[in-house]
Structure 1
Amino acid sequence: MAVLDIVKTKLDNPPSDDRLVVYIDEVGQAIKMFCNRDDIPDELRYVHANMVVDLIGLKQKNAPNAEPAVQSIKEGDVQVTFTAHEKSQGETEVDTIVHSYKHALYKFRKMRW
């Protein structure tokens, strides 16, 4: 089963195929860079698909019209605090996803001399 098919199966309302292919390529490039490889091993197929699904969820959550999640509520003199993920300069959603999956990716990492 290809990564595209796995992603489509895991999502209830998947984006268009063209957009999915872009996300799959974007995550694939990040995997190759992290692992110092020119290919993505077949054993990483499901990890790759899960990373794409997480990326799509993260992009939907960070959409401009998405409502922020409530972090805390204080009832006396009503105070509501919303969560905000602050990225370091240059950090992308893909970097966040790669960081989340780094333990699975370490097994396929090659040394660079």
Structure 2
Amino acid sequence: MINKIKTLLNITDSSQDELLSLYLDIVKQKVLNYCNREDIPSGLELIIVEITADEFRAKTRKNAIESGEETGAVSSIKRGGMQINYESSSSESNYNKLTGGGAEFIANYQIQLDRFKVTKEKRVRFI
């Protein structure tokens, strides 16, 4: 899965492998919890890869904005005296929508994840 994530993110070296592995573990657990599963069927693997790549992109962008390496969208420009203001709340909001641990996280992938959800009615237990 790590190699597929790296392909989506255009990462060619192994410098980010440990961090990607951590993100992957976190996403796997969130998905398993949401789907009430203890296993990951093969059809769910690519969804987990996509979610992990999205989380990595969102968190990397948020860190870049917070450290001043990247700015948000331009919110206003003043010509006399040359002033440019950047939005930070939209970046925060987009980051939270992508990576929120609860409803926001699920909302982005709910349709795909619901196919794999195990409800009490679907579980068959043998005694």
TM tier, shorter chain?
0.7 to 0.9
Find the partner of 2:70 among 67, 70, 73: 67
> How many equivalent residue pairs?
108
Q: Which is greater in Rg? A: 2
Q: TM-score, normalised by structure 2?
A: 0.68
Q: Per the alignment, in what secondary structure is the counterpart of residue 5 of structure 1?
A: helix
Give the root-mean-square deviation of aligned CA atoms: 2.8
Q: CA deviation at 1:102?
A: 1.2
Distance of 1:5 and 1:79 partners within structure 2: 40
State TM-score, norm by structure 1. Answer: 0.76
Q: Which residue of 2 is the match for residue 80 of structure 1?
A: 85
> Is the contact between residue 27 and residue 48 of structure 2 (CA under 8 Å) also seen in structure 1?
yes
Divergent runs of 4+, >6 A: none
Q: 1:9 corresponds to which residue?
A: 7
Change in Cα spacing, 1:71 to 1:34, as seen in structure 2 (3 Å) is farther
TM alignment of 1:19-98, pairs within 5 A: 19-63=19-63, 64-65=66-67, 66-70=69-73, 72-73=75-76, 75=78, 80=85, 82-84=87-89, 85-86=92-93, 93-95=99-101, 96-98=104-106
5+ long unaligned stretches in structure 2: 122-127
- 1:106 and 2:122 equivalent? no
Cα deviation for residue 76 of structure 1 reads 7.4
Q: Give the structure, 1 or 2, with the largest relative contact order (CA under 8 Å, sep 6 or more).
A: 1
